[in-house]
Structure 1
């Protein structure tokens, strides 16, 4: 009886253990099968990565600025081909490398060899040739390099990517997390020696493409700007040059240019001071007379001057705290209205404006216009500039600041501030990214104009616009005048500082212009560093370039020429101009009876004029020819 009980107990224990084993097998092979298989595969697999598809960068209309180009990378698994010696000559020939170097790399004692740098980012043609060789253990992984359809255009803004595809400078760096993708992967399953497992199929893991950036840049405008900067560099043997185009009503940056440039594909051979310095946001310098626009705006807002009805006498200097501060015109401008003070860019006149404002109000307006702090444009490498501290802002510093000397600002700060002065007093944040899109073109985020604050009133802004249009028609900015476009603007000539002292004969010349003057759609700032071969004045060098740029980009911005504008005042030395008469409908006899003195060229054999170039009422010189076309 006792033995039967023991036998039953033993059988019961055996049955329980059997059930436990069966349960465990069920749990392992059925319930946990996929999880355990995945863990096992992680021990067996070797991943061959495919390069991540980085996001594209386009202009505001979707034109590709930076994209991707297929550039394969080679991987070799020694365990899958113990004797690759016979294939080495053919592979080395395709890669254009010494066979002995290739053999040394391929015979490394490791699971997998990434053949770099010789086999990284090779051409598609090279990849195809190597694939045809059918070398065991040699894999051609998909990889990409950046593609630049416009070569070095916008290089200092866009920046570049490094060896592993990460952004290292410019937009590529600032928006790296957005642009970066995760690459696809091929998973090869091998044993500890790297030999393929016959019972496990290789697999493919899909990555995620980077997101695309649509910039506010207008490529057509920017190409015009870079062309003009390069020509100016050559003509004036300048050190460097920069330009910004902004929509003053929104803060959108339509062009941001720096020259000289560099080839982003060969950035290793470029000077780091070029690719690390995006001049419109990085460079700081004394602004010179372009800064006077802000002193003018503050003075008009606080009603301390009357542009049209108040006179100011300029003897050529003004004494402030025993310091004699001179006007650029040594003999002075003598008696003039405050509008003429602005037209003539008269330093003593602007010192007077600054004194009437007082140090506290002048300093407050300067900071309200955005100077002394970042514009928060989102562009890498932006500087803040340098202003006087309140303790150091004495009478002389106040006086020099009022005409743009003694402080340090960035070009983008000047553009932000002048945009507020002319757009109705609204300070908008400059921005460079218009939207972020996925790889299928769906918009994920759109950036809108961001108003920081109201600095001056619309009435004051209208007076500023009028004064600056007068500068172009009658003052120091006359070389920027363009018929029918109503350009306003201000010149700037700033002596460069080195080790706390002004450098003799070394200047940064600039001009900031906008159009149309009554309702600005475009704001253009241009500065040239250390120009030679010419008189170093912003009105002589920079103003005509800005005038040409505005004339050429006006049609792109849908700005039409109009008849009403301030007429350009004739001065000795100017070409004599007149407005072309309306000759439409006339015949040759009627035209001769008018006794016109300009040159005429007829086109066609008809009797009456049906078209003329230039069009009626266009400003032209006495040396120009009117072309007449008959029916």
Structure 2
């Protein structure tokens, strides 16, 4: 019995030593966990910035009231004092304070308080009443790049766009206010509160250029007003780095009110999600492949009778009766389907589809945005003569707008396919230091620099001499390709539903920009539904304005414009008017024979500046703005 008693006592003593000495830290942590309560403190979500570091999305933070009901002894008095400061109803506040919860927000009047109310509540020092910071996303530019930026939910979590893709980066880390409580949740007197500060999220700097983005959205507004389409997409990229400078869609929305629009509007970025048959813009790939494989010389002749017969099917050219005898450069200028079918046959399905995949089609580009599509290509084993023919001129394959932009960028930069990038850097908002940068990523070489230069020259000829004439802008050396694709409805190509498009680059001798527009189901009044008529002017305007904004100097060494009378506008040169008196300026305009309108800005007898500048060529009937002042100024 004595031995048993000694053994039992030894076990008890050993256990006591273990609990009190050896495992004291473990049990202390368990005790603290049981008696400590946390009031979460949300972190300020990071901003989304444009390429110049200007905020496109930021969090406007304000204090909100949190109550711990079990710590409030006199709930009636507390509700009364809060009601006197924040308003609402006293009974409503009392009901919240009486809930059997660890913590409640005083909604709705107790959220996002102004500074005066915050000071008044702090002065009361009410037991169980705490203040925490809450934030609301603000969009200073409304719907600018809405689908790119994305939206956040009620708890501040990213739901789409950049907000979703980089949610963890933007969210930061929550903090907490910790206090010691008894079993009833009441704070134990003379114990210390711990404050764990929240860590704000990183700022995400995008590659988007705000001004070029605004140019793109301006063009979309004009398209919608004129043609009432179902959808519109515009992308502008730097072909040398793969950076996206603008990405705009219609329909659009204001992210501040995203709950008021259909889900497909805020959740689908058409520029990367939508897939469709590209039409003639895809001919750029066929042309590049044929030149790289030396299957064609652009001076070689081709006869177009208006159709091309393949496997018993006559595939027609868009021009009734065909183009007759023409060079292969003319085939490109005229967007002649029969000529491109022959190029497809010369290449064969193995070579053609190899180049299509090398240009990035049939797979995702890897842009850091959610919801990207990859398009659809024919399975090579199922490609017969007819499928080869239609693929060569852009029918029967399905692509995304971003894929087309990157393929064109490869031609613009000398033959290298780049990965598209829309994020430039992560920035610490507290220190301003760059945490991470995103460098250009070259995927692989597709064609040689010499072939890329040949294609660029051909595309400049398309704009100066061919179907892309409406994109021509004096001095900017724009090259591009039109596209007009029928849409399949109920298993057949529709006779009314088209997607018209245009893809262009500039300046052709050293491309700085690639721009693309796709207009889904335009409804023109008295205008033919062709990409060269509807889409080409959009890219002409966008590239010219963007190059001017980027201070790229114009050049007069490009291919001269071949004017089509009755189709192309007649250009006139703006005379120099700055520095003259207003009367002299008007007389000069009349005597020069230019058919231009005058708009006056300001007051005074002298013209102190003009826009556009002297020497600019404008379509007749355009407006020249004259800025007036009290004294003459230098020309500008």
* 1:147 Cα deviation from its structure 2 partner: 2.3
* Structure 1 residue matching 2:136: 3-state secondary structure: strand
* Structure 2 residue matching 1:349: 3-state secondary structure: helix
Q: What residue in structure 1 maps to residue 42 of structure 2?
A: 51
Counterpart contact for 1:216–1:254, Cα < 8 Å: yes
Of 410, 413, 420 in structure 1, the residue corresponding to residue 400 of structure 2 is 410
Counterpart contact for 1:111–1:193, Cα < 8 Å: no
Structure 1 length normalisation: TM-score? 0.87
Matches within 5 A, 1:20-419: 39-86=30-77, 88=79, 91=82, 101-115=92-106, 131=122, 135-307=126-298, 309-419=299-409
* Structure 1 residue matching 2:315: 3-state secondary structure: strand
- Alpha-carbon distance change, 356 to 619 in structure 1, aligned in 2, over 3 angstroms: same
The C-alpha deviation readout for 1:168-204, integer Å capped at 9, x for no partner, is 1111111112222112211122222222211212120
Aligned partners of 1:585, 1:434: CA distance in 2, in Å?
44
* 1:621 Cα deviation from its structure 2 partner: 5.1
Aligned partners of 2:315, 2:397: CA distance in 1, in Å?
16
Q: What residue in structure 2 maps to residue 575 of structure 1?
A: 569
* 1:325 Cα deviation from its structure 2 partner: 0.9
- Alpha-carbon distance change, 213 to 625 in structure 1, aligned in 2, over 3 angstroms: closer
Aligned partners of 1:271, 1:317: CA distance in 2, in Å?
44
Question: Mind listing any 5+ residue stretches in structure 2 that lack a counterpart?
Answer: 1-5
Aligned partners of 1:66, 1:42: CA distance in 2, in Å?
38
* Structure 2 residue matching 1:312: 3-state secondary structure: strand
Counterpart contact for 1:598–1:624, Cα < 8 Å: no
Matches within 5 A, 1:556-567: 556-567=549-560
Counterpart contact for 2:283–2:340, Cα < 8 Å: yes
Aligned partners of 1:577, 1:149: CA distance in 2, in Å?
39
- Measured on the aligned residues, the alpha-carbon RMSD in Å equals 3.5
The C-alpha deviation readout for 1:533-577, integer Å capped at 9, x for no partner, is 243211111111111111111123231112212111121213333
Of 481, 484, 487 in structure 1, the residue corresponding to residue 478 of structure 2 is 487
Structure 2 residue 506 is matched with structure 1 residue 511: no
Counterpart contact for 2:415–2:449, Cα < 8 Å: yes
Aligned partners of 2:156, 2:365: CA distance in 1, in Å?
29
* 1:83 Cα deviation from its structure 2 partner: 3.9
Aligned partners of 1:572, 1:195: CA distance in 2, in Å?
88
Counterpart contact for 1:284–1:409, Cα < 8 Å: yes
Aligned partners of 1:620, 1:109: CA distance in 2, in Å?
74
* Structure 1 residue matching 2:535: 3-state secondary structure: helix
* 1:467 Cα deviation from its structure 2 partner: 0.6
Aligned partners of 1:347, 1:260: CA distance in 2, in Å?
32
Structure 2 residue 541 is matched with structure 1 residue 542: no
- Higher deviation after alignment, 427-436 or 101-110: 101-110
* Structure 2 residue matching 1:68: 3-state secondary structure: strand
The C-alpha deviation readout for 1:425-452, integer Å capped at 9, x for no partner, is 1111111111122232212221111111
- Alpha-carbon distance change, 630 to 197 in structure 1, aligned in 2, over 3 angstroms: closer
- Higher deviation after alignment, 536-545 or 256-265: 256-265
Counterpart contact for 1:71–1:123, Cα < 8 Å: yes
Aligned partners of 2:508, 2:59: CA distance in 1, in Å?
42
- Alpha-carbon distance change, 93 to 306 in structure 1, aligned in 2, over 3 angstroms: farther
Aligned partners of 1:259, 1:126: CA distance in 2, in Å?
42
Aligned partners of 1:630, 1:111: CA distance in 2, in Å?
72
- Higher deviation after alignment, 82-91 or 165-174: 82-91
- Higher deviation after alignment, 546-555 or 189-198: 189-198
- Higher deviation after alignment, 526-535 or 357-366: 526-535
Of 609, 619, 622 in structure 1, the residue corresponding to residue 617 of structure 2 is 619
* 1:597 Cα deviation from its structure 2 partner: 4.1
Counterpart contact for 1:294–1:421, Cα < 8 Å: no
Q: How many aligned positions are there?
A: 606
- Higher deviation after alignment, 424-433 or 224-233: 224-233
Aligned partners of 1:506, 1:179: CA distance in 2, in Å?
41
Aligned partners of 2:309, 2:534: CA distance in 1, in Å?
31
The C-alpha deviation readout for 1:413-472, integer Å capped at 9, x for no partner, is 001111112221111111111112223221222111111111111111111011100111
Aligned partners of 2:432, 2:127: CA distance in 1, in Å?
40
Aligned partners of 2:623, 2:267: CA distance in 1, in Å?
49
- Alpha-carbon distance change, 580 to 180 in structure 1, aligned in 2, over 3 angstroms: closer
Counterpart contact for 2:42–2:198, Cα < 8 Å: no
- Higher deviation after alignment, 153-162 or 263-272: 263-272
Matches within 5 A, 1:455-474: 455-474=446-465
Question: Mind listing any 5+ residue stretches in structure 1 that lack a counterpart?
Answer: 1-12
- Alpha-carbon distance change, 366 to 125 in structure 1, aligned in 2, over 3 angstroms: farther
Counterpart contact for 1:347–1:403, Cα < 8 Å: yes
* 1:615 Cα deviation from its structure 2 partner: 5.6
Aligned partners of 2:287, 2:571: CA distance in 1, in Å?
32
Q: What residue in structure 2 maps to residue 9 of structure 1?
A: none
Aligned partners of 2:612, 2:163: CA distance in 1, in Å?
46
Counterpart contact for 1:598–1:625, Cα < 8 Å: no
Structure 2 residue 517 is matched with structure 1 residue 526: yes
Q: What residue in structure 1 maps to residue 545 of structure 2?
A: 552
* 1:604 Cα deviation from its structure 2 partner: 11
- Higher deviation after alignment, 505-514 or 102-111: 102-111
Q: What residue in structure 1 maps to residue 3 of structure 2?
A: none
* Structure 1 residue matching 2:381: 3-state secondary structure: coil
* Structure 2 residue matching 1:238: 3-state secondary structure: coil
* 1:524 Cα deviation from its structure 2 partner: 0.4
- Alpha-carbon distance change, 94 to 543 in structure 1, aligned in 2, over 3 angstroms: farther
Counterpart contact for 2:574–2:594, Cα < 8 Å: no
- Alpha-carbon distance change, 136 to 234 in structure 1, aligned in 2, over 3 angstroms: farther
The C-alpha deviation readout for 1:78-129, integer Å capped at 9, x for no partner, is 2222442355467568777666554433312233224467755566676566
Aligned partners of 1:335, 1:384: CA distance in 2, in Å?
38
* 1:315 Cα deviation from its structure 2 partner: 1.5
